[in-house]
Amino acid sequence: MKFNTLKFTCFAVLFSCTVFSCRDLTEMNINPNGVDPDNANPNLVLSTVLTESGKAFVNLGYQDIAGVMQHTQKDGWSGGHNEYDWGGSQSWAGYYDILRNNQYVYDRGVAIKSELHQGIALVMKSMMFGLITDLWGDAPYTNALKGAVGGADNTFPAYDSQETIYTGILADLEKANTLLSKNAAEYTATVGTADVYYQGAPAKWRKLANSLALRYYMRISAKKPDVAKAGIEKIIANAAQYPIITAIADDAAMPFAGNSNDDSWPSNAIYDASESNYRRLKMAATFVDRLLALKDPRLGVWANKVKVQIVVDPSLPKGTDKTEGNKRYLSPDKVAGKEYNTNEYVGLPTAMLGGPTYNLSPTAEQGANNPHVSWLSDMYRQAKGPLLKSRLMSAAEVRFILSEAALKGWAVGDAKTHYEAGVKASMDTWGVGSSYAAYIAGADAKFDGTLKQIIEQKWIASWTAAQEAWFDYRRTGFPELKTGTQSKRSVLPVRFYYMLDERNLNKTNTEAAMNKLETTPYSTVDGKNSPWSKPWVIQGTGKPW
């Protein structure tokens, strides 16, 4: 009896093995809760592309590049922000991650014959590759995003020239303009809530595509003026075929959900109980002083007044130092030989020694509670809000581009009209449009027909998007910014270092790109791979220094 049972058991096991061995193991190894990449809805990935891109832009324009362009300064842990002491710490890995996801959106768009997804993906590809080449110079482009295909050329891709990358970007944006030219109802697929920029409106994506083309034509205008002129004039000559962003309702601006630290404004104090990211950032003196001189109402939106204002009163008895309410009263002998500022708004000087104690601060605590300098507006403590957006492209930027083009004599309209429209768009964006008429009539803001003034107003309008001001500064030399006593060099940097992992893993191609950089008197300490070496886009221009 036991023998028969054993024989039956062995037969059952053998039978089961035989049956199951006839089945493909890949059929068994399917996660019923997973998503097949070959059949997935591209919207599942598109939302990630857009949100990660938005965060990438604001993390540049509100963080260290805001320090370079002297919108803000830090009074603690300030080396990268105030002094450009980067040490090769920047990496483009996150940007290429976004591009790989974006390529999936494009490929799925082709597979399902969705021109809408293809058009949006080409716009985002252009924006992200534009950011990479703007920040570093030459970079993997043609053979990038092909690692899964294999082969040394794809695993360790060659770097394309900046000229090649900008040319490719402009070609992709031209293609996107065509793909996005239909009415919304004509598209076979929708993007819906996955589109955190435009809620799936193809007309707005089309305007963004053509506005980005204006940006990149102007970017190469010193190197390829004929191409830039023809490209910008072509867009402006045919508004029906090439619509652009002219109203702030069409700005590419991503709000923050505020549900966690990952989807909130970067300096929020809601998820950072220490408030360290908020408290370290202070307004920069360069920016504050210019806004005060212009009587610019945007200052009050972006910054707080000092908590305690310095008042030096000659009538006070010698030795007086007392605080009453929000005023600190000092007799002249208490401030003799010391630097101080009695304004209601006070910014930190650029890359200074002793930032925490600036303006007679009673505390030297790092990144802390200096009551005599202007902190950023309280809205920047919040996780989300109507003005807390990553601003990727705006009507103001478009207008300033066109004002500059008109100043060059290109057929795009009147420089003054575009300049004034740019100023108004920025002021409307920040809720102070009612002050525009008085502001534009002021002696300093009234149009004077100079590139310096156009770029200065563009710099002001780039608040929280300072990377664009940096790229303008490189090619124009405006605004005329000076470095501080602790700065790593005596002039502002113009690019990022190629990172160590690229120099090690993709050595041959990285060295070839480094050898194409133009060394300068300020880059010799670093060698060719220096933030003070010039990439192609500004080589031979004499700019910015």
Q: What is the DSSP string of 427-454?
A: HHHTT-GGGHHHHHTSTTTS--S-HHHH
What pLDDT does residue 40 have?
Answer: 86
Q: How are beta strands 159-160 and 139-140 bridged, if at all?
A: antiparallel
CA-derived radius of gyration, the chain: 28
Distance (Å, whole) CA 199 – CA 26: 38
Two tokens, residue 235:
């867009």
Residue 66 contacts residue 72 (beta carbons within 8 Å)? yes
DSSP annotation string for 35-95: --TTT--THHHHHHHHHHHHHHHHHHHTTHHHHHTTSEEESSS-HHHHS---TT---SHHH
Q: Give the torsion sign (CA, 393, 399, 403, 409).
A: positive
Amino acid at 349: P
Asked if omega into 317 is within 30° of 0 (cis), the reply is no
Query: What does pLDDT average to in each consecutive run of 10 residues of the chain (545 residues)?
Result: 37 37 46 68 96 98 97 92 90 97 97 98 98 98 85 85 98 98 96 95 98 98 98 98 98 98 97 92 97 98 97 97 96 96 98 90 75 97 98 98 98 98 98 98 97 98 98 98 95 97 94 97 95 98 98
Distance (Å, whole) CA 214 – CA 218: 6
What pLDDT does residue 6 have?
Answer: 35
Calculate the alpha carbon distances from 285 to 84, 304, 312, 471 in Å: 17, 13, 20, 21
What pLDDT does residue 77 have?
Answer: 84
Residue 257 DSSP SS3: coil
The helices-and-strands tally (H runs, E runs) of the chain is 22, 9
State which H helix or E strand residue 176 sits in.
helix 162-179
What pLDDT does residue 89 have?
Answer: 81
Closest CA to 469 of 426, 430, 522: 426
Two tokens, residue 354:
């002793």
Distance (Å, whole) CA 396 – CA 408: 19
What pLDDT does residue 367 have?
Answer: 56
| Prediction pTM value | 0.92
What pLDDT does residue 37 have?
Answer: 80
